[in-house]
Amino acid sequence: MFGKNWDTRWNDTINYLNINFPCPGLTDRLGAHIEKTVPAGLRKGISGQLSLGKRGDGEDDPQFAGNTSKRHALRGLLLCQRVYFSTLWAKRSNNWTEYNPDTQALKPDNKTQSLAHWSNASEQEIKDGIGMFAPVDTADYADLAAAAQVGPPDGLKTEIAGNPTLSRSKNCCIGAAETCYRGVLAWLLQSGIVSLRWFMKDTAPSGKVSCDRLFGTGEVVWDPATHFGDDSVIPRIEEGYIIHMWTQESGVSGWNGHWVISNGDGTVCGVNNGEIDTRAEVVRKDYTRTATLRGQFEGYGGYLSNQVWEGAKVRMVPLQPLRSAHASLVKFDPFTIPGRL
């Protein structure tokens, strides 16, 4: 008996993805998007990489002698990883403005790792893995806020980009936790508002050019031309919105500022926060789910100051003559970010 030829394997896999992941609200079903992404001349070679070998009935290998539908799922997952982790799709920013294919996300042993993790899983569990490459149809703003409330990325060395074992049904909020927008990216992914396809569009975003590409320019909440003082009132920002704050005086290298998720009640979730230790509020640097937006924004607004050390403590002393910081506060609707996938 003969196994599948390459075009049958390719078409069966694409059809499985289209049927199970129609991606309502997006332009293309998942399989159709892959066909748009992969040039025709590469499909035969990639299809060969999806082979699971032969089994006794001439279909596949006894090691993976699951039912046909489960095997379609395994191939579908392998195909998503092969395409979206590769230079056909994945990109990364470098040196603030460079934007190049990511040559490191697709590991040489990706198929081996993936099959080791998924071969004994059920079809539904494998579909949960494929689901990482599609937004969740029912995801809403509350899901993003809830994902942020659970906690920060685990901070371990295992990263999201190029990871063949991820599933929202378990936890995909993993990896780097030392920068605030890494937390925001992980929470967006866990919430289901975006997929790994969107995440892989830039695996190392940093700076205005790359973050504008991912998030857009947003809606101004606090204009930098307006002084932010003790009597200033920040307009309410909706639950599940992304918030970015920064000061123009910090220049290009400081534009990243701070990124958080709004709880909708004047508080935010964030990592790598501005630390606060007062009678009114305590905020840890590593993670918060209850920090006030005002408390975080005060670190950017007000008057320009210098740090003055007094023993082991630091005190901010306003420059003379007084000059207002040009502090910006911008919110982003996660459902309108550019190219959401």
Domain boundaries defined on the chain: 1-134, 213-336
Provide CB contacts within 8 A for 129, sequence distance 6+: 77, 118, 121, 165, 166, 167
Question: Which of the residue ranges 208-217, 238-247, 254-263, 317-326 would you say has the lowest mean pLDDT?
Answer: 317-326
Q: How many Cα atoms occupy the beta-carbon half-sphere of 262 within 13 Å?
A: 25
Q: Is the pLDDT of residue 2 over 60?
A: no
Question: Which of the residue ranges 19-33, 42-56, 148-162, 182-196 would you say has the lowest mean pLDDT?
Answer: 42-56
Give residue 54's pLDDT.
Answer: 62
Give residue 56's pLDDT.
Answer: 47
Q: Is the pLDDT of residue 58 over 60?
A: no
Q: Is the pLDDT of residue 317 over 60?
A: yes
Q: Is the pLDDT of residue 65 over 50?
A: no
β-sheet bridge partners, residue 318: 305
The residue-averaged pLDDT of 66-73 equals 86
The model's pTM: 0.91
pLDDT band at 66 (very low <50, low <70, confident <90, very high): low
Interior angle at CA 255, CA 276 and CA 154, nearest 5: 55
Name the one residue in this structure whose structure tokens are 């003559």.
321
Going from the C-alpha of 185 to that of each of 4, 58, 101, 144, 318, the distances in angstroms are 39, 44, 19, 10, 35
Q: Is the pLDDT of residue 276 over 60?
A: yes
The residue-averaged pLDDT of 72-85 equals 98
Most confident of 213-217, 253-257, 267-271: 267-271
Give the closest residue to 222 by CA, choosing from 297, 295, 323. 297
Give residue 3's pLDDT.
Answer: 57
User: Would you say the C-alpha torsion 269, 211, 340, 77 has a positive or negative sign?
Assistant: negative
Give residue 323's pLDDT.
Answer: 74
Give residue 179's pLDDT.
Answer: 86
The residue-averaged pLDDT of 69-80 equals 96
pLDDT band at 90 (very low <50, low <70, confident <90, very high): very high
The residue-averaged pLDDT of 174-195 equals 92
Q: Is the pLDDT of residue 1 over 50?
A: no
Report which of residues 170 and 96 the model is more confident about. 170
Q: What is the mean pLDDT of the chain?
A: 91
149-152 LR contacts (CB < 8 Å, sep 24+):
149/263, 149/269, 149/289, 150/190, 151/287, 151/289, 152/177, 152/183, 152/271, 152/286, 152/287
The residue-averaged pLDDT of 24-37 equals 97
Report which of residues 181 and 196 the model is more confident about. 196
Give residue 311's pLDDT.
Answer: 77
Q: Is the pLDDT of residue 218 over 50?
A: yes
Q: Is the pLDDT of residue 60 over 60?
A: no
Going from the C-alpha of 214 to that of each of 25, 83, 332, the distances in angstroms are 19, 20, 11
Give residue 316's pLDDT.
Answer: 72
* Angstrom distance (rounded) from CA 327 to CA 260: 16
Q: Is the pLDDT of residue 152 over 90?
A: yes
